[in-house]
Amino acid sequence: MAPTIIFEDNHLLVINKPAGWLVQADRTGDLTLTDWGKTYLKGKYAKPGAVFLHPAHRIDRPVSGAVLFGRTDKALGRLTTLFKEKN
């Protein structure tokens, strides 16, 4: 199963993570949801150079569900604050 985009704007990207996918890299070297999202954004917007994309949270590899990513460091900072404050 492939990931799917649930929501996208200039600041956020929400991806439906299939079970079995990693959110961030580990020692296995398997493709991650973060890598997949960066490739998606790079292709869609023909972005040169590196793409900023960082998860605001993670879910375990065996679990499926929505993962929220910040597309800018400012958006990620605000998301991190919201998660800390549980708003």
Domains of the chain: 4-85 (3.30.2350.10)
Residue 14's DSSP bridge partners are: 7, 68
**Average pLDDT of the segment spanning 10-15:** 98
Our separate counts of H helices and E strands in the chain read: 2, 4
**Average pLDDT of the segment spanning 70-85:** 96
Contact (Cβ atoms closer than 8 angstroms) between residue 13 and residue 3: no
0.85 surpassed by pTM: yes
The confidence score (pLDDT) of residue 52 equals 97
Residue 73's DSSP bridge partners are: none
Q: Which of 32, 37, 27 is CA-nearest to residue 4?
A: 37
Q: Which of 26, 13, 20 is CA-nearest to residue 66?
A: 13
